[in-house]
Amino acid sequence: MSVGVAPWTDDYSNIASALIRHYRKSLKNRDDQAIEYFSAVIAKFPDMGVGYKRRADAYLRKRNYKRAIDDITALMALGGHDIDAYKIRGMAHQFDGNDLGAIEDLTVYLSKKYNDVEALELRAVAYGNIGQREKAIADFRGVLFLNPSHRRARHLLGRLSGSP
C-alpha cells in the first residue's frame, strides 16, 4: 500500500507538511481513508505524534471511541504535550460513557483553553451524569457566560436548577 507521499525522507518538516495536506484531502474522501493513511504513516514513523492525533480525530468521527482513546494515549506516551489531545480524548471518554475520564481530560484541557464552549459543555454534562450537580451548574453557567445564546446549555441548566 502506498503511503501517499513520495519520496519519504527523514526531513520531518516536509513530511509534516505533506501529512497535513494529505489529511485535509483525506477528510473530503472519508474517514476510512484517513484512518488507512495515518495507520501507514504511524507504521512508517511510529515516533511522529501527529499521525496518532489525526487518526484519533477520524476514529472519533466514526464513533470508534476506544481506538481514539488508544491513539491519544499513544501520542501522550511519546511525550506529546499537545493540549488539544486532552480534548479529543476527553470527548472520546464522554461519548464512550466514561464520565470520570472525560472530566479528568477536559479539566486539563480547560486549564489552558478555558474559553472553549464545547469542552466546557461536555464537562458539565459529565458532571451531571455522575451527580455532581453544583459543578455541572457552574460549567453550564460558564458556557452561557461565553455564549449567552447557547440554547442547549440554557435548557440543561434550567433542568439542573429546577427552573421550568
Where are the alpha helices (H) located in the chain, listed in sequence order?
12-29, 31-44, 49-61, 65-77, 83-96, 99-112, 117-129, 133-146, 151-161
* Range 68-105 burial, b when 16+ CB lie within 10 A, else e: bbbbbebbbeeeeeeeebbbbbbbbbbebebbebbbbb
Please tell me the class of the 1-80 domain.
mainly alpha
Which H/E stretch holds residue 47?
none
Which of 116, 105, 53 shows the shortest CA–CA distance to 80?
53
Q: What is the pLDDT of residues 126-138, one digit of tens each?
A: 999 999 999 999 9
The least confident of 8-17, 29-38, 110-119 is 8-17
Cell output for 16: 509534516
Contact present, 126 and 102 (Cβ < 8 Å): yes
Q: How far apart are the first and last CA of the chain?
A: 58
Q: How far apart are CA 154 and CA 107, in angstroms?
A: 21
Q: Show me where the domains of the chain are located.
A: 1-80, 82-164
What is the topology classification, in CATH, of domain 82-164?
A: 1.25.40
Comparing 1-80 with 82-164, is the CATH topology the same?
yes
Q: How far apart are CA 45 and CA 149, in angstroms?
A: 44
Any idea which residue has 499537545 for its cell?
A: 82
Q: What is the pLDDT of residues 18-49, one digit of tens each?
A: 666 666 665 555 788 889 999 999 999 888 88
| 147 has a pLDDT exceeding 80 | yes
Q: What is the mean pLDDT of residues 68-89?
A: 89
